Amino acid sequence: MNKEEFNKEWEKFELECRSCSRCALRDNATNTVIYRGGRNAPLMIVGEAPGANEDQEGKPFVGRSGQLLQSLLASYGFSDEDYHICNICKCRPPQNRRPEPSEIMACKRLLAMQFKLVRPKVILLCGSTAYEGFFGQKVKMGDVRGKFIESNGYYIMTTFHPAYALRDPKHNIPIFEDRGKVRQKLEQLGCLPPLENIN
């Protein structure tokens, strides 16, 4: 697909997201929160669902969790085009509750379309809801955090959600370490230059 065709496909995808009413989360949402970062990016970062700030701005991870995520990405030399940030669900759940399994299921089709367009090499799942939404099974974070799983040509890692580290700063260290492993994997795959070559 050339750039023009890709942009057309992307516009169709965004239109489909904005006109979606497959679940009740649409009823109270101000915006459909689709992504921020690059449209074609080697790293896809997947969170849970939009919060109040994200709903207002129409972009994922823009509140305090987003600032933490951003500083971690910057510390490992990621530019905006190197990553694509999105959520398992694109509309804000009331009172910032976790999305219900039926809502995650309803939104999965759009997420699958997004993966096909972005074509990441590495996927970073932030938090247990993102893991459960992606793999369809419950998990203890301690069992999966910080380890790569290779599946369907993707390298997938799960880490703590940045909001978790804001509540308990001791989780900053593992989150920081996990970003380092992600950077290293992308370098090994030839998707990013070695960090020491970046000024």
Contacts of 110 (CB under 8 A, 6+ apart): 13, 16, 17, 20, 90
Nearest to ligand SF4 of 103, 132 (CB atom): 103
User: Minimal distance in Å, beta carbon 64 to ligand SF4?
Assistant: 23
Measured CA to CA in angstroms, residue 122 lies from 31, 45, 78, 118, 150 at distances of 27, 9, 13, 11, 9
Of 31 and 70, the one with the shorter C-beta distance to ligand SF4 is 31
Q: 158: part of which helix (H) or strand (E)?
A: strand 154-159
157 phi, psi to nearest 5 deg: -125, 145
Angle at 100 between CA 95 and CA 104, to 5 degrees: 115
Give the shortest CB-91-to-ligand SF4 separation in angstroms.
3
Nearer to ligand SF4 (CB atom), residue 107 or residue 124: 107
Distance from CA of residue 106 to its chain's centroid?
Answer: 17
CA of residue 190 relative to chain centroid, distance: 21
Q: Which is nearer to ligand SF4, 107 or 157 (CB)?
A: 107
Binding site for ligand SF4 (CB under 6 A): 17, 20-23, 25-26, 32, 89-91, 103, 106-107, 110
Contact 166, 66 (CB under 8 A): no
**3-state DSSP assignment of residue 150:** strand
Q: Of 110 and 123, which CB lies nearer to ligand SF4 in the complex structure?
A: 110
Cβ 20 to ligand SF4 shortest distance, Å: 3
Shortest distance (Å) from residue 17 CB to ligand SF4: 6
Looking up tokens 């989360």 gives 25
For residue 162, the minimal CB distance to ligand SF4 (Å) is 21
> DSSP 3-state assignment of 37?
strand
CB of 29 to ligand SF4, least distance (A): 6
Please, which residue, 20 or 139, has the CB nearer to ligand SF4?
20
